[in-house]
Amino acid sequence: MDPILTGLLKPKSVAVIGASTNPDKIGYKVVLNLKEGGYEGAVYPINPGAADILGYKCYPNITDVPYVIDAAIVTVPAKAVLDVTRQCGEKGVKGMVIITSGFAEVGEVELEHEIVRVAQSYGMRIIGPNVVGTLSNSDKLNASFAPFLPLEGKASLVTQSGALLIAIDAATYTRRVGFDKMISIGNMSDVDIADMITFLNEDPETSCISLYIEGFKDGRKFMDEARKTHKPIVALKSGKSSHGAAAAASHTGSLAGSAKIYDAAFKQSGVTQADDLNDLFDRTLALSLQPRMQGDNLLILTNGGGIGVLATDSAERFGLPLHFAPADVQEELKKHMPEFGSAKNPVDMTGMAGNEWYYETTQFSYAHPWVDGLVVLYCETAVTVPEEIAQAIYRGVQDSGVTGKPIAVSFVGGERSDKAMAWLIEHGIPTYNAPDNAVKALATLREDYRMEQMRQTDGYTPEGINPAAAREIISRARSLGRSALTEIEAKRVFTSYGLPVTPTDLAVSEDEAVAMAEKIGFPVVMKIVSPDILHKSDAGAVKVNIKTVDAVRENYRLILENSLNYKSDAFIDGVAVQEMAPWATEVIVGSVNDATFGPTVMFGLGGIFVEVLKDVTFRVAPINTVEALTMQDEIKSAAILRGVRGEKPRDKQALADVLAKYAYMVHDLRDEVAESDANPVIVYEEGKGVKIVDARIILTKK
Ligand code: ACO
């Protein structure tokens, strides 16, 4: 583990700079929390006017302390922080947690940078500024102004909002979701979420990393670190609406970014997303207590038909639809229910189910190899005692002789059920008060397994590419003062990266156009090539389905005439003559350079699907072909590619190859290409490939 971050988050000694004797001040509360939390390391309050604070000897300056100090918690006003940073550097502390607000989030960016520069010159790290502090149950460390340590548990929280840390801290006791560490990361002037992921991945007390994110400065760093972890990560991302994004910007100075690109980045780096705060608790509970679900077979045991049906609906909603249990499983389960029960799945033992049936069915089901994950539901009845049922379920799991398989439970009832739930959670079984949450827990563990597998798939490097040729085309266009490539240039760039474009040539005379059309084969398409005319159809400068030599000549003249009518001073390169690709399914592939994540690739079906329905999906480039296939499956109109109304399936494999090559290209040319698209791309039947009909590349500003 990083020794500096370890010193900062698991310190053996702490100084509180700006400690106060005034109980209303944050500098007092931090010292009080260290004391009341039971911190066993040394505490050194720093205050020029006090001799003693809460029984700890006080020093006027950190440099006066004659002992080694790992972490300095800073609660002096903003204007004093730079000096304090130098003093900490002189003293040789490992790092500072700067609680003070009033830096980048209010426009004091330069002061914040200067503090980081000074800290770095001494080899120190900084958490904050603008934070609540850090908490760690395993170190009995409450170096914060949050009121107390959270309920003990195996998850650790990193949050950009300090207030949310305080709220979650208190709620851990009512929600029964335990945490070991809670780290308020604030403005992330130095230590950021990615650093915390790396640290917590190696922290033996953390089994699951929970995040509250407003925005990253460096999205790629987050993705790289998240991909390297072996622990589950669950993130709640705020600022997804335009108003929310503006609020995030003024809160911690974060760039909230496009929600779709964040969604993609999380998926690609194996991070489960929570929809809201409740969902963050639910998913954290499951991920911190249970192993990943390795297969699709979910079995549900219940004593209530209604809650069984609700859970079944939820299973489908959460992407884990139920399958009927195999005959041998049903046969065995039938022994533990009355005649009118059902052993199919959900397994309804009926309201007659007591402790024994719960014990026996849990033990059998949990041990059975067909079952990849188990959900046990219980609704309170007059003939059962919830706590006894809870114990029966727990014993069933213990006595099954099996480990490494996930289970979640739901108890629906009143106070007695509530107590039973608490008992099960204490014994490591995530338990919820609604059946859908128990199913969601298993769906989360399944999703986490799938993402873990995805993280392990290889990268993608296309063969036989010629990036130098692409760069030459781009630099020629730049030398002519252009910020966009012509269609022919863009297609040549695409071809340099092995992308299948329709054959296209540039004619500068009627005779050349005829010769090219004859070489390509009729029918052909003809279009103007001019850096000054980007919307060629609007100018009447695109003609399709040209079938004869005469028509080539006639259209050549017409295209030039229409173009000059449209823009009399347009610079004309010539007329493109290209193959008229037979029509099939039309899709769009595009790219934009995102401010947080860099080059991203977009995919969707063409026409109304993209223009009206906005049915598109994104990935941060590059991607491999497995991810490219997933992109095709996740758009709402995915069925069209699978083949509808008797049509044959489309060539998804060839399309995946195009998507992966495209993503490789835009990543490789990220310094040159600001945005691009291949539109339309025609996808033929399985085995018959893909053709890019039109290409557009806008260059980066240099
Ligand atoms: N060295 C040592 N002690 C110093 C120094 C110094 N260089 N300078 C000042 N002090 C002492 C002061 O004398 C004072 O002690 P005293 O009470 O004995 O006089 C103490 O440090 C604090 O200084 P004050 O000027 O009294 O400042 P105050 O406590 O009012 O505020 C604070 C300081 C809390 C850092 C404030 O500036 C601030 O930033 N508050 C916001 C904190 C926050 O909300 N953080 C984000 C959390 S996230 C969320 O949203 C909840």
252: Cβ below 6 Å to ligand 1? Answer: no
The residues near 448 (Cβ < 8 Å, ≥ 6 apart) are 232, 270, 272, 287, 292, 293
Integer Cα distance of 172 and 191 in angstroms? 25
**Upper half-sphere CA count for residue 243 (Cβ side, 13 Å):** 0
303: Cβ below 6 Å to ligand 1? Answer: no
Ligand 1 centre to CA of 633 (Å) is 54
Integer Cα distance of 610 and 681 in angstroms? 13
How many residues belong to the chain? 702
Q: Which of 406, 201, 429, 176 is nearest to 281 (CA)?
A: 176
Ligand 1 centre to CA of 131 (Å) is 12
Closest ligand 1 atom to 60 CA: 2
Closest ligand 1 atom to 46 CA: 2
pLDDT at 481 over 60: yes
Q: pLDDT per residue over 512-530, tens digit each?
A: 999 999 999 999 999 999 9
Ligand 1 centre to CA of 61 (Å) is 15
The residues near 521 (Cβ < 8 Å, ≥ 6 apart) are 579
Sheet containing 431-432, strands listed edge to edge, beginning at the edge strand earlier in sequence = 347-348, 298-302, 373-379, 407-412, 431-432
Give me the helix-helix angle, 219-228 and 259-268, nearest 10°: 30
Q: Which of 404, 394, 401, 395 is nearest to 430 (CA)?
A: 394
Strands 695-699 and 690-692 come out as unpaired
Ligand 1 centre to CA of 81 (Å) is 10
Q: pLDDT per residue over 280-307, tens digit each?
A: 999 999 999 999 999 999 999 999 999 9
Ligand 1 centre to CA of 438 (Å) is 45
Predicted confidence band at 247 (pLDDT cuts at 50, 70, 90)? low
Question: In this structure, how many other beta carbons lie within 10 angstroms of the beta carbon of residue 126?
Answer: 28
26: Cβ below 6 Å to ligand 1? Answer: yes
131: Cβ below 6 Å to ligand 1? Answer: yes
99: Cβ below 6 Å to ligand 1? Answer: yes
Structure tokens belonging to residue 317? 């909603």
Predicted confidence band at 249 (pLDDT cuts at 50, 70, 90)? low
The overall average pLDDT reported for the chain is 94
Choosing from 47, 98, 185 the residue with most ligand 1 atoms within 8 A of its CB, the one to mutate for a pocket test is 47
Q: What is the arithmetic mean of pLDDT over 662-669?
A: 97
Dihedral sign computed on CA atoms, order 499, 503, 507, 512 = positive
Integer Cα distance of 328 and 269 in angstroms? 39
Q: What is the arithmetic mean of pLDDT over 365-374?
A: 98
**Upper half-sphere CA count for residue 607 (Cβ side, 13 Å):** 5
Q: pLDDT per residue over 140-191, tens digit each?
A: 999 999 999 999 999 999 999 999 999 999 999 999 999 999 999 999 999 9
Ligand 1 centre to CA of 129 (Å) is 12
Specify the residue with its C-alpha closest to ligand 1, atom 27. Answer: 77
pLDDT at 682 over 70: yes
Q: What is the DSSP letter of 105?
A: G
Predicted confidence band at 653 (pLDDT cuts at 50, 70, 90)? very high
Q: pLDDT per residue over 23-79, tens digit each?
A: 999 999 999 999 999 999 999 999 999 999 999 999 999 999 999 999 999 999 999
Q: pLDDT per residue over 537-571, tens digit each?
A: 899 999 999 999 999 999 999 999 999 999 999 99
H helices present in 318-434, as ranges: 327-334, 355-367, 386-399, 415-426
Specify the residue with its C-alpha closest to ligand 1, atom 30. Answer: 25
For residue 646, CA distances in Å to 476, 599, 634, 643 come to 48, 38, 22, 7
pLDDT of residue 244: 60
**Upper half-sphere CA count for residue 661 (Cβ side, 13 Å):** 24
For residue 507, CA distances in Å to 512, 518, 530 come to 5, 13, 12
Integer Cα distance of 287 and 233 in angstroms? 8
Q: What is the DSSP letter of 342?
A: B
**Upper half-sphere CA count for residue 624 (Cβ side, 13 Å):** 9
Choosing from 16, 25, 93, 187 the residue with most ligand 1 atoms within 8 A of its CB, the one to mutate for a pocket test is 25
144: Cβ below 6 Å to ligand 1? Answer: no
232: Cβ below 6 Å to ligand 1? Answer: no
Ligand 1 centre to CA of 19 (Å) is 8
Q: What is the arithmetic mean of pLDDT over 491-514?
A: 96
pLDDT of residue 258: 81
Strand partners, 373: 298
Give me the helix-helix angle, 386-399 and 355-367, nearest 10°: 30
Ligand 1 centre to CA of 75 (Å) is 4
Q: What is the DSSP letter of 502?
A: P
Q: pLDDT per residue over 624-649, tens digit each?
A: 999 999 999 999 889 989 988 888 99
Dihedral sign computed on CA atoms, order 484, 486, 488, 491 = positive
Closest ligand 1 atom to 18 CA: 21
Specify whether the CB–CB gap between 501 and 495 falls below 8 A: yes
Choosing from 62, 75, 97, 127 the residue with most ligand 1 atoms within 8 A of its CB, the one to mutate for a pocket test is 75
23: Cβ below 6 Å to ligand 1? Answer: no
Ligand 1 centre to CA of 100 (Å) is 7
pLDDT of residue 256: 47
CA 619 to the chain's CA centroid: 11
Integer Cα distance of 510 and 439 in angstroms? 68
pLDDT at 257 over 60: no
Predicted confidence band at 246 (pLDDT cuts at 50, 70, 90)? low
Ligand 1 centre to CA of 248 (Å) is 24
pLDDT at 615 over 90: no
The residues near 58 (Cβ < 8 Å, ≥ 6 apart) are 19, 44, 45, 46, 47, 50, 51, 52
